[in-house]
């Protein structure tokens, strides 16, 4: 059962009551991410996420981890394009301690100069690790190619220049501006009642500064035909990401797109997996991922394969896109995709962590909680013709970007592989 309370200062508190569980997951979310950053600030949201674990005015970094780990719990955080989350999980009897630590971190960070220098180097190593992993590097290249020269396309971790320019003053200012009541959502999921959460969050409600909802920079599209980004490196393998601009989380076509993605490349039963892996043996794995943002979205197809097979794999991939444009899927294929999505949703929501994430993302993305049953109803409303319509709408030359980490250099030959009628 879902409960939501919005306080007069704009702070939102939500609970997913799961009395059959022994644990509780708590999360404090801020509606700020890399989309809220100017170019010179690139990576600052992620930098702050790291720094909040480095000590507060009441706790050292060691005390933060020991207080949670000492009760068998865990604490972590993550930064995305649009949100930052600090979350912890433990037995429900320790909910007071979990909330106390999270609130202290959220409100009272100490941006110590020495810790800033150390953590800056840690983040630089994190960026270097991404470059060393072609499967991750190519996804960053894909975002940058889909949304060039704008916040949505920049790396969440930032870059060396912006990190070097980020000092304690900038961190403090950004934190003060964005970690405010209107941008904050607190969610508890597990063996906890809503009245308990309201009591646990009373100190946060009293102490959090007032402020307005964080603003993000809109996505801009200027592309007129397929774009290619090649990161050339000596290697036997090529990693590619075929990015396709789609629609926002508010667009009603998103339900058809979710089903389209499932039958295209979400699992081992998908068209791409059967073609590229099973029939032609060109790659060990190939899959597609949909992402939805405030004002835009993407569907990204990615695979790693022998460089000699790259052109053939790309042509076969585009063939599958063309098939979806030309002909609607069968009722049976659509039913299997829908059953898969609904089954995955039901399984994921058995977890307190996933319930906490679900509710927070709903409140931050839609300003309300959309019940899972309503999502299922929308999926049941989709017809085969809706899938084809979505393919026609989105699989257009001006929406397609190919990014590659590869020894290949000839863009002209690769462009021919991307031709869609």
Over its length of 421 residues, how does the chain's per-residue pLDDT go in tens digits?
899 999 999 999 999 999 999 999 999 999 999 999 999 999 999 999 999 999 999 999 999 999 999 999 999 999 999 999 999 999 999 999 999 999 999 999 999 999 999 999 999 999 999 999 999 999 999 999 999 999 999 999 999 999 999 999 999 999 999 999 999 999 999 999 999 999 999 999 999 999 999 999 999 998 999 999 999 988 889 999 999 999 999 999 999 999 999 999 999 999 999 999 999 999 999 999 999 999 999 999 999 999 999 999 999 999 999 999 999 999 999 999 999 999 999 999 999 999 999 999 999 999 999 999 999 999 999 999 999 999 999 999 999 999 999 999 989 999 999 998 7
Q: Compute the distance between CA of residue 185 and CA of residue 197 in angstroms, rounded to an integer.
A: 12
Instruction: Describe the strand order of the beta sheet including 237-245 as a list of residue ranges.
Output: 227-232, 400-406, 237-245, 297-306, 283-292
According to the model, what pLDDT value does residue 237 have?
A: 94
Q: Which residues contact 173 (CB under 8 A, 6 or more apart)?
A: none
CATH number of 2-207: 3.10.20.30, 3.30.590.10, 3.40.50.620, 3.30.830.10? 3.30.830.10
Whether the predicted model's global pTM rises above the 0.75 cut: yes
Going by C-alpha positions, the residue among 311, 306, 265, 317 that lies closest to residue 284 is 306
We find that the CATH architecture of domain 227-417 is 2-Layer Sandwich (3.30)
According to the model, what pLDDT value does residue 386 have?
A: 98
| CB neighbourhood size of 4 (10 A) | 16
Tokens 């899938």, residue located: 387
- For this structure, is 81 an active site residue? no
Q: Which residues contact 180 (CB under 8 A, 6 or more apart)?
A: 208, 209, 210, 211, 212
Q: Compute the distance between CA of residue 214 and CA of residue 35 in angstroms, rounded to an integer.
A: 10
* Residue 151 CB burial class (10 angstroms; 0-12, 13-18, ≥19): buried
Q: Which residues contact 232 (CB under 8 A, 6 or more apart)?
A: 406, 407, 408, 409
Q: Residue 72: which region, alpha, beta or left (left: phi > 0; alpha: psi -120 to 50)?
A: left
Question: How far, in Å, are 17, 266, 283, 361 from residue 261 at the CA level?
Answer: 32, 6, 19, 21
Q: Compute the distance between CA of residue 237 and CA of residue 415 in angstroms, rounded to an integer.
A: 19
HSE, CB side, 13 Å, CA atoms: give it for residue 365. Answer: 21
CA 249 from centroid of its chain's CA atoms? 12
> What residues form DSSP beta bridges with 404?
230, 240
* In 254-319, beta strands by DSSP E: 283-292, 297-306
Q: Which residues contact 46 (CB under 8 A, 6 or more apart)?
A: 34, 79, 123, 156, 157, 158
Q: Compute the distance between CA of residue 198 and CA of residue 241 in angstroms, rounded to an integer.
A: 45
Residue ranges matching CATH 3.30.830.10 in the chain? 2-207, 227-417
Q: Compute the distance between CA of residue 144 and CA of residue 156 in angstroms, rounded to an integer.
A: 11
CA–CA–CA angle 179, 185, 190 (5° rounding): 135
According to the model, what pLDDT value does residue 222 have?
A: 86
Residue 334 is encoded by which pair of tokens?
């659509």
3 state SS of 407: coil
Question: How far, in Å, are 128, 260, 289, 293, 420 from residue 325 at the CA level?
Answer: 39, 11, 19, 24, 9
Q: Compute the distance between CA of residue 69 and CA of residue 100 in angstroms, rounded to an integer.
A: 14
The one catalytic residue among 37, 41, 49, 115 = 49
Q: Compute the distance between CA of residue 110 and CA of residue 90 in angstroms, rounded to an integer.
A: 26
According to the model, what pLDDT value does residue 180 have?
A: 98
Contact by Cβ (8 Å): 299, 246? yes
Q: Compute the distance between CA of residue 238 and CA of residue 309 in angstroms, rounded to an integer.
A: 9
According to the model, what pLDDT value does residue 35 have?
A: 97
DSSP 224: -
DSSP 330: P
**Which DSSP string corresponds to 16-33?**
EE-TT-SEEEEEEEES--
């Amino acid at each position: 059962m879902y409960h939501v309370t919005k306080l007069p200062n704009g702070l939102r508190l939500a609970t997913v009551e799961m009395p059959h569980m022994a644990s509780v997951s708590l999360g404090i979310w801020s509606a700020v991410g890399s989309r809220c950053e100017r170019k010179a600030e690139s990576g600052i949201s992620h930098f702050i996420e790291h720094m909040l674990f480095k000590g507060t005015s009441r706790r050292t970094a060691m005390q933060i981890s020991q207080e949670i780990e000492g009760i068998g719990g865990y604490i972590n955080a993550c930064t995305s394009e649009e949100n930052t989350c600090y979350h912890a999980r433990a037995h429900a009897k320790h909910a007071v301690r979990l909330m106390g630590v999270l609130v202290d971190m959220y409100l009272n960070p100490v941006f110590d100069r020495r810790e800033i220098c150390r953590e800056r180097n840690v983040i630089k190593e994190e960026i270097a690790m991404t470059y060393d992993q072609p499967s991750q590097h190519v996804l960053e290249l894909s975002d940058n190619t889909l949304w060039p020269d704008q916040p949505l396309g920049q790396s969440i971790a930032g870059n060396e220049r912006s990190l070097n320019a980020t000092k304690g003053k900038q961190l403090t200012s950004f934190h003060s501006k964005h970690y405010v009541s209107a941008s904050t959502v607190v969610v508890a999921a597990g063996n906890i009642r809503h009245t308990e959460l309201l009591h646990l969050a009373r100190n946060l409600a009293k102490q959090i500064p007032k402020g307005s909802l964080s603003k993000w920079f809109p996505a801009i599209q200027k592309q007129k035909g397929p774009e290619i980004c090649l990161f050339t490196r000596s290697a036997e393998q090529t990693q590619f990401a075929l990015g396709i601009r789609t629609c926002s989380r508010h667009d009603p076509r998103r339900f058809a797109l979710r089903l389209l993605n499932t039958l295209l490349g979400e699992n081992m039963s998908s068209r791409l997996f059967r073609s590229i892996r099973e029939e032609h043996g060109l790659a060990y794995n190939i899959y597609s991922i949909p992402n939805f943002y405030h004002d835009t979205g993407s569907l990204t197809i990615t695979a790693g394969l022998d460089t000699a097979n790259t052109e053939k794999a790309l042509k076969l991939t585009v063939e599958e896109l063309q098939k979806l444009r030309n002909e609607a899927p069968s009722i049976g294929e659509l039913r299997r995709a829908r059953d898969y999505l609904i089954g995955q949703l039901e399984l994921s929501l058995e977890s307190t962590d996933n319930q906490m994430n679900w509710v927070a993302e709903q409140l931050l993305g839609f300003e309300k909680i959309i019940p899972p049953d309503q999502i299922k109803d929308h999926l049941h409303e989709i017809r085969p013709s809706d899938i084809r319509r979505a393919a026609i709408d989105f699989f257009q030359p001006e929406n397609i970007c190919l990014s590659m980490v590869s020894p290949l250099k000839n863009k002209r030959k690769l462009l021919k592989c991307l031709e869609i009628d």
